[in-house]
Amino acid sequence: MNFSVGVFTNLSRDHLDFHGDMENYKNAKMSLFREHSVSKGVINIDDPVGREIFSEFKTTALSTGVDSPADIMAEDLSLSEYSSLFTLKTPYGSHRVRCRLLGKHNVYNLLSASATALLQGVALENVVEGIETGANIPGRFEQVSCGQNFTVLIDYAHTDDALKNALGAIKTFAPSRVIVVFGCGGDRDKGKRKEMGRVAMALSDFAVITSDNPRSEDPNSIIQDICEGFTSHAGERCAVLPNRWEAIEFAITLAADGDVVLIAGKGHENYQILKDEIIHFDDREVALNILKKRLNLE
């Protein structure tokens, strides 16, 4: 198969229920560049695997990075709960840009998209316009607001690396506590559950552990796997509520002025898989209904 542009963003733990281990997953990603015809490459060299790919790539390529010198860079990065501000440095010029996507991980995605567009002949001014006017992505750091004095964010973060990125981004702008609600999917990589528990304990002030899509597994068994990542003193900083609605309600009720509540794992999804049943469940709808109830807006 021939590709006009091949993009490498990063390598982090995911899909190990399919690939088996990280080495197989790495090789699967690298096969795009090694086994297929890729005319041009966009490669994040802040990632060690990206540096390996970039060193092997023999045709036209643009490197991207925030921390490493690269062809396409985000310099002087400033993150807030409303926007990401940075200088987009390219071989075609530099521009100070502000976008509505939040977090350093999303800046990396913007760099990859910008480099791809530039390689395809899009003018830099049009790339800048796209960054600054682009709409928020449903379920990716999506805010739910009824005018409350704390922030509620919905994000698809469903791996330990994604949860680390999301919570790390929030810590850069949260004026008060960070409260996270999350679970892990059933019939998927079990190894990440303990790691997600560790991330939650390290980067949040309070964690509410609940169900995601348990599928054929016992939700309580999944939750127990997550809790193995907690320290012995985690009890005062966490709660276990297998019912996802109740977990979200608990977190929003707990939130006070300046807190940030992150509801992680499902993002844009509007369903929940319980054994062989698929029910309607949308974190955004649930959070909105709970906020209305708390603020007496119903």
Report DSSP letters for the chain, one per residue: -EEEEEEE----S--HHHH-SHHHHHHHHHHHHHHSEEEEEEEETTSHHHHHHHHH--SEEEEEESSS--SEEEEEEEE-SS-EEEEEEETTEEEEEEES--SHHHHHHHHHHHHHHHHTT--HHHHHHHHHHPPPPTTSSEE--SS-SSEEEEE---SHHHHHHHHHHHHTT-SS-EEEEE---TTS-THHHHHHHHHHHHH-SEEEE--S--BTS-HHHHHHHHHTTS-TTGGGGEEE-SSHHHHHHHHHHH--TT-EEEEES-TT--EEEETTEEEE--HHHHHHHHHHHHTT--
User: What does the pLDDT read at residue 29?
Assistant: 74
User: What does the pLDDT read at residue 202?
Assistant: 95
pTM above 0.95, yes or no: no
Calpha distance 36→29 (Å, rounded): 11
User: What does the pLDDT read at residue 14?
Assistant: 66
* CATH homologous superfamily, domain 142-294: Mur ligase, C-terminal domain (3.90.190.20)
Contact between residue 196 and residue 161 where contact means Cβ atoms under 8 Å apart: no
Contact between residue 152 and residue 144 where contact means Cβ atoms under 8 Å apart: yes
Strand partners, 78: 85
2-133: CATH architecture: 3-Layer(aba) Sandwich (3.40)
User: What does the pLDDT read at residue 252?
Assistant: 98
Domain ranges of the chain: 2-133, 142-294
Positions of the chain with pLDDT under 50 = none
Could you tell me how far CA 201 lies from the centroid of its own chain?
17
User: What does the pLDDT read at residue 56?
Assistant: 86
User: What does the pLDDT read at residue 17?
Assistant: 65
